[in-house]
């Protein structure tokens, strides 16, 4: 009897132990599962954060203003650029409240109504924009505002350029034609007259050649296909050569060109290209200085470099044009009638920058202009 009781007790104990062990194991598994699920939740949250960051970057990346609108044209998301041009706190405002433009709102309303892409040029804040509204698939829409000023400006510059080139070509060509006609009409039989006319024609051909050369140089320099051949060179000599080259033109206008560059000043430059920069500045100075004016070329050490200057006593340049004259094809309005393509200073800037230097101009209108550029001094 007692043995039976012991057996039952042992069995009961065994069962109890087994139950405890199973409960513990299940408990462990449960904890493991819980830990795993919280790990997954953390991973999901992190992934969500990463994808939000990617989305924000995508929205902020384009240079255009971007607004996400709901079906009532209320802004629910806006990128940084939108904040910059339309002002802060855009969320919650309607498109018309944010833009204060019926023109833009009209495009938005059109898309919201018909759920189709609408796009057209608009004017906002006196600037040209291109508005594009795309349905977002949930009854709302995305409005993109693209600033067109730069594109329109470069279109206008290209048109000006073509007009300039055609003018620059037509003038010498018309002159050559007239000279040929005069020669054919009989001038060819008078040797002195014929020689003078042929020399005039040579001059006209030279100006066309220079135009072609400037166009080619600019395209080569801009595409990095004209590496600088840097050597030690005497700046005083370079300046003297250029002054001699433009002497006849200066003499015609009785302009005095003075070379103040120290004779022994040595620089490390592409001699030919820096000669062209100086030549261009001297040429411009003569062109834009009235008769009996004065041009001075100087060079002084500055911040470990050499600062070269070309100062004239001409008409000067308006302050608002000063930063722009180094752009391709840019000519100050007053200079439109003068010969020139507006390419010289753009080429000069590329050449100076290729030497690690800087070029700029200072001017007091009516009192003349001074052009400066920096180049490396010889070590």
Residue 287: exposure state from Cβ atoms within 10 A (0-12, 13-18, ≥19): middle
* Angle between helices 344-354 and 191-222 in degrees, nearest 10: 50
Stretch of residues binding ligand ADP (CB under 6 A), selected from 8-16, 224-232, 234-242, 329-337: 329-337
The yes or no reply on residue 369 touching ligand ADP (CB under 6 A) is yes
Distance CA(115)–CA(142), nearest Å, equals 11
Separation of first and last alpha carbons in the chain: 116
The one among 259, 312, 349, 357 contacting ligand ADP by CB under 6 A: 312
Q: Which two tokens stand for residue 320?
A: 């608002």
The yes or no reply on residue 288 touching ligand ADP (CB under 6 A) is yes
The one among 280, 313, 349, 359 contacting ligand ADP by CB under 6 A: 280
The yes or no reply on residue 349 touching ligand ADP (CB under 6 A) is no
User: In the bound complex, what is the minimum distance in angstroms from residue 301's beta carbon to ligand ADP?
Assistant: 24
The yes or no reply on residue 293 touching ligand ADP (CB under 6 A) is no
Residue 129: exposure state from Cβ atoms within 10 A (0-12, 13-18, ≥19): buried
User: In the bound complex, what is the minimum distance in angstroms from residue 368's beta carbon to ligand ADP?
Assistant: 7
The yes or no reply on residue 317 touching ligand ADP (CB under 6 A) is yes
Residue 140, SS3 per DSSP: coil
The yes or no reply on residue 314 touching ligand ADP (CB under 6 A) is yes
Stretch of residues binding ligand ADP (CB under 6 A), selected from 11-19, 149-157, 184-192, 281-289: 281-289
The yes or no reply on residue 335 touching ligand ADP (CB under 6 A) is yes
- Using CB under 6 A as the binding rule, the residues of this chain from 95 to 134 that contact ligand ADP are none
State the residue for tokens 């007009």: 163
The yes or no reply on residue 325 touching ligand ADP (CB under 6 A) is yes
State the residue for tokens 């892409």: 117
Nearest CA to 65 out of 172, 146, 180 is that of 146
Rg of the chain taking only CA atoms, in angstroms: 38
Which residues contact ligand ADP (rule: CB under 6 A)? Answer: 280, 284-285, 288, 312, 314-315, 317, 325, 330-332, 335, 340-346, 369
């Amino acid at each position: 009897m007692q043995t039976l009781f012991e057996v039952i007790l042992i069995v009961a104990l065994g069962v109890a132990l087994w139950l405890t062990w199973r409960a513990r194991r299940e408990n462990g598994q449960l904890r493991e599962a819980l830990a795993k699920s919280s790990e997954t939740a953390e991973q999901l949250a992190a992934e969500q954060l990463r994808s939000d960051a990617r989305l924000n970057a995508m929205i902020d990346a384009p240079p255009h203003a971007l607004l996400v609108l709901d079906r009532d044209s209320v802004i629910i998301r806006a990128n940084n650029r939108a904040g910059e041009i339309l002002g802060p706190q855009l969320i919650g405002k309607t498109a018309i409240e944010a833009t204060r433009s019926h023109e833009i709102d009209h495009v938005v309303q059109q898309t919201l109504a018909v759920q189709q892409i609408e796009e057209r040029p608009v004017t906002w804040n006196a600037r040209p924009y291109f508005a594009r509204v795309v349905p977002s698939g949930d009854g709302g829409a995305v409005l993109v505002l693209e600033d067109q000023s730069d594109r329109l400006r470069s279109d206008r510059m290209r048109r000006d350029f073509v007009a300039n080139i055609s003018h620059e070509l037509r003038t010498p060509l018309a002159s050559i034609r007239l000279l040929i006609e005069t020669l054919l009409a009989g001038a060819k039989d008078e040797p002195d007259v014929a020689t003078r006319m042929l020399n005039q024609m040579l001059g006209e051909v030279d100006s066309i050649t220079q135009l072609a050369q400037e166009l080619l140089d600019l395209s080569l320099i801009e595409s990095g296909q004209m590496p600088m051949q840097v050597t030690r060179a005497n700046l005083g000599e370079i300046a003297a050569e250029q002054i001699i080259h433009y002497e006849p033109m200066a003499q015609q206008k009785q302009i005095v060109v003075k070379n103040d560059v120290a004779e022994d000043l040595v620089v490390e430059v592409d001699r030919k290209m820096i000669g062209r920069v100086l030549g261009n500045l001297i040429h411009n100075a003569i062109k834009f200085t009235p008769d009996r004016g004065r041009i001075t070329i100087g060079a002084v050490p500055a911040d470990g470099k050499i600062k070269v200057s070309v100062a004239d006593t001409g008409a000067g340049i308006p302050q608002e044009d000063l930063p722009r004259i180094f752009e391709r094809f840019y000519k100050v309005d007053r200079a439109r009638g003068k010969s020139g393509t507006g390419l010289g200073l753009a080429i000069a800037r590329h050449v100076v920058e290729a030497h690690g230097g800087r070029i700029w101009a200072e001017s007091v209108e009516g009192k003349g202009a001074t052009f400066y550029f920096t180049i490396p001094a010889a070590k």
